[in-house]
Structure 1
Amino acid sequence: MAKTKDLQIELMNLLGREDVDLDEVLTLTAQLAESDENRVRFSVDASHIDRLGRELVAKQETAVAELVKNGYDADAKLVELTFIDVDSPGGTLEIFDNGNGMTRSQLINGFMRLSTTDKADTPFSPLYKRARAGRKGIGRFAAQRLGTKLTIITQTKESPNALKISVDWNKYTAHKELATISHIISELPKDRPQGTLLVIENLRDSWSRTQISRAYRYTSELLEPYPLSKEKTGIKKIDPGFNTAFYVQQNGEIETVADVESVILKHAVGVVNGHIDDAGRAYWSFDGKKVGLEIKDQPIDINTKYKQIIPGGISFQAHYFIDDSDYIPTSFKTVVRNALQENGGIRLYRNGFRVLPFGEKYDDWLRLEHSSSLRSVLGPHRNTNFMGYVSVNDPEGIHFQETASREGLVENDAFFALREFVSMSLKAAAVVVAHERDRKPLPRQTKRYKSPEEALDAFMGKATKLSMNILDKRPDELKNDVIEMQVAAKEAQKLIEEIPMLRVLAGLGLMIGEFTHEIKLAFGAVRNALDLMRKHVSEEGQDSLEDLGSLFISIQSFARYFDHAVVDNAHRGLVPVDLVGVVGDFKDIVRPRLDELKIDISVIQNDYDLFTKPMHNSEWTSILFNLYSNSLKAIKKTDVKGKILVELGEQDGKIYLQFSDNGIGIPKENWEQVFDAFYTTSPQPGTTATYSEELTGSGLGLKVVKDIIRTAKGTIEVIDPPEGYTTSFLIEVPKALPEEIPDDAY
């Protein structure tokens, strides 16, 4: 009690001074709280900061990636990282992003406050509405993991001055109360319009060029490498893209280690250029030093019906990529693949302004995906083989008019001529490159049977003929082989019994293709109707109209997704499947529906380069949507907040995908049965059930999934779910060998 009284007196004397030392006040307050015999309180030891930095961020490359993600979250277009004298520990790292910067309140209540709810309260960035990429609260600990001192200099566009805080992490030692450690915040003259500079001194580790390149790779999922295109978009707050540049400064000399040009664009096989002169003559060129090709102003003969109306003022540029170790080193493959998967394609700019949705994911305005699926042109030429833009100069809007909804262009003859010119030029480049590489991608045709029964009869006939010809010659050696062939024939007979329902499902696939084609034709009319309604609906009805617009966008995304899946599968051989891209596409498509149902979906990617053995992309679409629909039905039967988890990675030479949900669950005794044909936990559909409800409750979904995976020499099983989930499916398939990945896999 005496100690408490002494502390109270000392605190009162301290508060009575004219110049109060708040650090000392906090220290005495903490000691006074500890002396309270009747109440106890949680306290935080300052050394907790050190432990968090080392335990939450194990790798130095991961720490740098987290700080880059903070720049992405701040709506930066560019983050520049300069590693100064880092060949040994003790160097300096400077990270500058040209994002929004931080106000005094954001700096104090955001960066300097642990466990904030900022990312939960504001899941999207303020300007470009980017989904937050940084992990909550990791940034400050990443800085502590990297060095012993951090200096932050930040300024917003509106602020008259910059703010500066220096943090000495060595102050955070054991047996100190966290709240008693303070840092001075000061104002400086602005030397930049906006943005944030982090200076991390006395680095704990050395940094090799390989480690710096690896850190760049960790941020590749954020990259939208379009320095080659114009930033103007014509639509307010459209994201202009995000890039990073990594430099090393040694003895005053600066060297570029990794940026968009050095890591992505320089690995292109070549650059395709094209233009149309004022007389309407079309030309294309190709600069491809990697394959020893240089073609200048080659005339291209577009369709005669368009020659009279194709305007001048059109040009384009596209970097052409082929996924081959001759052009892309193994260490950069993942970065380049991710960039092409997310941002490949040809964007369209009209009078310097971006026109959506041309060049967006799933948009095939040049019909490159369609052409590639038909295998009518030699050489890889999908959207993800190109990264570029088309520039159209038509100030008066004589030839190229925007639709009433301001999305897309009116599809008139000028538009068709433009599409044909660019598409033909890109395919011409693909053909000459394929010829130079001596590649022949067209598969050899084999005999096709009219039905499985005909194929089985042919098999049995050949087996019988074989047995008659050879059993007399070497009966002991060949008898078992013939028996195995006969057993295989019997198994084939069993499969025929499932043919009727599989034919129904195949017919459904054709219906989906027809449906998506027909519904896409109506998109323009719907957009125009929505635009007209916006002008006449009262303010009270605007919210409902916005909801309708969001629903239309969701339907449009689903139509593009399934249209892509159908086209991708048509007349196409097997190729290794990039599981990271497939799962990413799936998540993007189902997220709006899950948000509406208030179901969370998370994806954990544990490894890079997750390419399966050759399969159809559409097979994975079927796998994921079967598991997804089962999860929705299972979650619907519970009262909990739904959640779905997809985890993927590599283990023991196999690619795995684990799909979990917190629905009603599957009894353990039924884990094996769920893969049997016609086994279902769904009730029998009633007389008012729709055709799709009858099919989805038929018990064939998981059977189809298992057959797909078994054909790929993989496995699927129900396993014990992770904590917080009730059902978990584990899929494993062989990993693709490097030589199995063809040039047109992307």
Structure 2
Amino acid sequence: MAQDQGADFYIYLSETYLSQEGARSIPGLKWEDEPGWFVSFAQDFSLDDIGDIELVTASPLGQSSSVGQEGEFANPGPFHGAIYTFKRKGTDLSAIGDVFNLQSEFSKYIEKHSGVRVFRNGFGIRPFGVDGNDWLQLGRGQTSGRSYYGLRPKNVIGYVALTAQDNSQLEEATDREGFVDNAYARNFHRVMLKVAETIALTNENLRRGYNEYTRTMAAQEAGFVSRDTPEIFDQMRDTSAASKELEARVSQIRDELQAVYTQVAASVQDIESTPLLHTEQEREIAPLLREIRQTLDAARYILEQVEEALSQAKKLGAIADVLEPDLEHLREELSMFSELAGLGIVAEALSHEMSIVADGLASRTRALLQKLKGRQAVDQRVVAYTEHVYTAVGQMRKQLSHLDPSLRYVRERRDNIEMRAFWRDMQEFYADRLGRSNIEMVLQEPFSDFVISMNKGKLTQVVDNIILNAEYWLKEDLRKRRISTAQIIVRTPSTAPIVDIYDTGRGVAPSVEQYLFQPFVTMKPEGRGLGLFIARQLLDSSGCLISLLPERNQFDRRYIFRLDLTGASIDERE
């Protein structure tokens, strides 16, 4: 890296690693050809694109603004900062040896000053980054299993610089512990969480890319012409066969060398034991013969080591025969990840819906008990309550029936799915949930009634993800008064087995439209960024595709998701 300022790694990173199908992205990546720097990146976000950003209503002079359903963003104002990450172990202390004699002393000092702190006009604001305060939730990555290379609270030092003039809405609490809890402070926190998340993902991409780069370089130095697993196993078998042949030749050479060594040793011993019986010339070459004997002895030892290494190398063929099916099985197991993660999305929606039903039951039960308390006669509300319980049970059964197609024991079964009937069922299923948020799901006529052969659970998981995403952002747009009507529209643009899904919201944020189907890309504050990545994997396993069409809406944003189900079409399969 240091020899060429990372130029070769940058070429590999930009042209190979990040260009792979499904690879993660580093927006605005740029190589910095100057000492001390490797690359830079830039990514722009709009406040409007960060989920749950709060608005404030205008208030009379002298009164503080309040959170409302319409108005301007609670903009905390411009600020800047820096976050540095580092390794605490293995640091070369030679340059600061007069300050730190031991690694432990250095680690204690760094730990004391670690964290991201907030300053206003140069004065620190507690508790941000002080005494282990992890206000950016960096420690959550250590327990969530999301990333091994993410930022860690004790491995970062950073700051955020505010000013009294630009950030006057960020009011410090009277006890000087943080900010007053208002929309501006909460939005400041949301923005900084997004910044930390973006830096962490970029750092992870660079670390993983470098690991892949070093493995590639090592493979090239080892003579591997390909990183493709079957070809590597073939190379192992070829090496094993060559090792068997070479082992026989080495054994033969070792035996010949042993014979020469024996002759030389005997000659040396004969000359040294009976010097008077040998000529002066023979006595003169005796020291040279001793050196030859020592050399032959060393060569014999080396050949023994080579034989031992070759005896291990010839086993590579057998090892390849054992490992290859195991790796293939592992590949199949890993392919199940997307399906299992997809089940989590369905379970999340299900548990949310069940909690709503349970809350309703509890509320109505408490109200009924209050009415019946102290009465002996049966109130008609008992009948109404019974009817409500019956309805609630029906809703629960409906939810469970939605989950059923995604269960493990039916996941691999293919179903002949009539598209019109399937989408009618989805429309009916989501009607109550979307209706509570004033969102309507519409099937645009004419709607082609083609048939596909696919596992219904997989298709349901894909559609669930798209609709739940649309629901979230439509609710945000309604809350921010960006739109007046919220619809999710499903259409079949032609007689081909293609389905388009879009909504009347603002569309996909420009900052993520190029990377939408890559893992961990999200604009939701608590989003995992796996939904569309999983959807693509599920469709791909059935020979189908999902894409974001280039057409733009009135907000100049891409907004139409296309499901190309050609690979699962009954006509196509026949």
TM-score by length of 2: 0.34
- Normalized per residue, which structure has more strand? 1
**When you count helix as a share of all residues, which structure comes out higher?**
2
- Pair member with larger Rg: 2
Structure with the bigger RCO (C-alpha within 8 Å, sep 6+) is 2
TM-score by length of 1: 0.27
